[in-house]
Amino acid sequence: MTNRVALVTGGSYGIGAAAAITLARDGCDVAVADLRRETLVDTVKSIEALGRRAVAVELDLREQASIEAAVGAAVMELGTIDVLVNNAGVPQRKAALDVTRQDWSLVMEVNLAGTFFMSQAAGRYWIESRKAGAIVSVASTHGIVGLAMSTTYGVSKAGVSHMTRMLAIEWAQYGIRVNAIAPASTETPTRTGLSDPSKRDLFLARIPLNRFGSVQDMAEAIAYLAGEKAGFVTGQTLVVDGGLTSQ
* Per-residue model confidence as pLDDT tens digits over 207-221: 999 999 999 999 999
Contact 180, 160 (CB under 8 A): yes
- What's the mean pLDDT in 172-177? 98
What integer pLDDT is reported at residue 161 of this predicted model?
98
**Beta bridge mates, 8:** 32, 85
- What's the mean pLDDT in 223-234? 98
**Structural domain boundaries in the chain:** 4-242
What integer pLDDT is reported at residue 191 of this predicted model?
58
Rounded Cα distance between 109 and 104, Å, is 8
What integer pLDDT is reported at residue 128 of this predicted model?
98
48-82 pLDDT, tens per residue? Answer: 999 999 999 999 999 999 999 999 999 999 999 99
- State the pTM of this model: 0.96
Alpha helices in 172-214 (DSSP H): 197-204
Tell me which architecture the domain covering 4-242 has in CATH: 3-Layer(aba) Sandwich (3.40)
Residues 6+ positions from 154 with CB-CB distance below 8 Å: 140, 142, 143, 146, 147
The model's confidence at residue 190, banded by pLDDT at 50, 70 and 90, is low
68-123 pLDDT, tens per residue? Answer: 999 999 999 999 999 999 999 999 999 999 999 999 999 999 999 999 999 999 99
Active site residues: 153
